[in-house]
Amino acid sequence: MASRTNQRVLLGCALLCAAVLPWADSSRLRAAESQPQPAVAAANFPIASAARLAGDGKQTRFILDINQAVTFRAVTLADPYRVVVDVPQVNFQLPAGTGAAGRGLVKAFRYGLVMPGGSRIVFDLTGPAKIAKSYVVEAANGQPARLVLELEEADRAAFVQALAPENRPELRPTIAEAQPATAPATTAPETAQQKADGRPVVVIDPGHGGIDNGTQSSGESEKNLVLAFGLALRDKLEKAGKYRVVMTRDDDTFIPLNDRTKIARNHKAALFVSIHADALPRAEGDAQGATIYTLSDKASDAEAQRLADAENRADAIAGFNLAEEPTDVADILIDLTQRETRTFSNRFARLLMGEMKSTVRMHKHPLKSAGFRVLKAPDVPSVLVEIGYVSNKGDLEHLVSEGWRSRAVGSMAQAIDGFLTKRMATAGSSN
């Protein structure tokens, strides 16, 4: 894990150093010379302290206050209409709720880390628009540095023109290069180690992260709750020592859905467990308890379909252009493997429910299925567990409670052990 993180940091640095180092060096120099401000911040990331929108449905301006000038790249994406601004890693210290309400051409915006060394701001647009101007103003006259984006209304034809093939390499500027490297980086240094290790690999996948908060309620973000849960589960399994645990993320970084399954496949994982926490919109009443999901082409009910759609939107939330993601090739071999894998996934789901119901309040229909993209590794048994509803008061109390977490993690570890012990016994002679 550490090596993967290092690789990604290195990669991020390699991509961004041209932009980052000049001012990082000069600010460090300045701090060393005069030391007027808290010097700790000097080596740290730029801080964004305020963001605002101005204008109307014809022209809308976005302004971000930062404590130092940054380089950036802005691109537009269609279906849905979005503008994505990539910057070097920024420490966003914006007031809670910033970006939730839009103005003019901007429906809403969000921001956060998409990879170590790289942050992103994603604007959801009310319709097609073009970036008329984008620039950074240096700090002057007591004003902080500002990143400014000026959007102008456009028609769809003009918008699509701006997405012409020759413009496409500009998409996902810092991420584009980093993306394919993510998966190989996770395996290359670990394959040898894995061979020597020989223990079955369990991949734990805390949902969302970075720019994608997941569901939110009462100031709690799904991404933080499920990371805490995932790390506790990792610790529990590692303590027992029977399995090697790989996390898809162990910090607040966004990981695209495809990369999550790639990590599982590259490690030849014996099991993939994705951890989420659901929320119901207030208008749709209250629901509570944990639910275990497996992959299916046909959703088991409308609720499962709604949830799969919501979880599958993660890449769009982070601004990735889904049209660019290669789709899995369907062939007979994959199909056969997948069928077997689904049988194992369902077996694990039932086992997990059996263990969890003794310690965790379960949803009234705790076993469901739908087309979750993150469960699509054809050769790795995979389940997605919604450990509760952040929109339910009682569930939320559980989700933030360490006692509850430890009991729930205990049950999950028990189920994982039960499942893998049986699998190793039956598959034992084949390797």
How far is residue 427 CA from its own chain's centroid?
Answer: 33
Residue with tokens 């700090």: 139
The DSSP letter of residue 156 is H
How far is residue 117 CA from its own chain's centroid?
Answer: 15
Site map (CB under 5 A) of Zn ion, residues 311-330, x = contact: x-------------------
Per rule CB under 5 A, count of chain residues that contact Zn ion: 4
Instruction: Determine, following the binding rule CB under 5 A, whether residue 210 of this chain makes contact with Zn ion.
Output: no
Instruction: Determine, following the binding rule CB under 5 A, whether residue 230 of this chain makes contact with Zn ion.
Output: no
* CA gap 309, 280 in Å, rounded: 13
Instruction: Determine, following the binding rule CB under 5 A, whether residue 260 of this chain makes contact with Zn ion.
Output: no
Which residues, 6+ apart, have CB-to-CB distance to 366 below 8 Å?
A: 289, 290, 291, 292, 353, 356, 357
Instruction: Determine, following the binding rule CB under 5 A, whether residue 207 of this chain makes contact with Zn ion.
Output: yes
36-69 burial string, b = 16+ CB within 10 Å, else e?
Answer: eeeeeebeebbbbeebebebeeeebbbebbbbbb
Distance in Å, CB of 14 to Zn ion, minimum: 31
Of 111 and 293, the one with the shorter C-beta distance to Zn ion is 293
Distance in Å, CB of 137 to Zn ion, minimum: 37
* CA gap 220, 257 in Å, rounded: 22
CB 200 within 8 A of CB 270: yes
Distance in Å, CB of 364 to Zn ion, minimum: 20
Of 249 and 276, the one with the shorter C-beta distance to Zn ion is 276
Instruction: Determine, following the binding rule CB under 5 A, whether residue 214 of this chain makes contact with Zn ion.
Output: yes
Distance in Å, CB of 9 to Zn ion, minimum: 26
**Among candidate residues 300, 273, 279, 316, the one with its CA nearest the CA of residue 365:** 300
Residue 36 dihedral angles phi and psi, to the nearest 5°:
-85, -35
Q: Which residue is nearest to Zn ion (CB)?
A: 276
Instruction: Determine, following the binding rule CB under 5 A, whether residue 4 of this chain makes contact with Zn ion.
Output: no
* CA gap 370, 169 in Å, rounded: 34
Instruction: Determine, following the binding rule CB under 5 A, whether residue 128 of this chain makes contact with Zn ion.
Output: no
Of 214 and 319, the one with the shorter C-beta distance to Zn ion is 214
Work out which of 8, 120, 244, 276 binds Zn ion, going by CB under 5 A: 276
Instruction: Determine, following the binding rule CB under 5 A, whether residue 368 of this chain makes contact with Zn ion.
Output: no
Of 145 and 299, the one with the shorter C-beta distance to Zn ion is 299
Distance in Å, CB of 42 to Zn ion, minimum: 37
Pairing type for strands 362-370 and 290-295 reads parallel
Of 223 and 262, the one with the shorter C-beta distance to Zn ion is 223
Of 76 and 392, the one with the shorter C-beta distance to Zn ion is 392
Token pair listed for 327: 């789709």
Of 276 and 405, the one with the shorter C-beta distance to Zn ion is 276
Instruction: Determine, following the binding rule CB under 5 A, whether residue 366 of this chain makes contact with Zn ion.
Output: no
Instruction: Determine, following the binding rule CB under 5 A, whether residue 388 of this chain makes contact with Zn ion.
Output: no
Residues lying near Zn ion in the complex (CB under 5 A): 207, 214, 276, 311
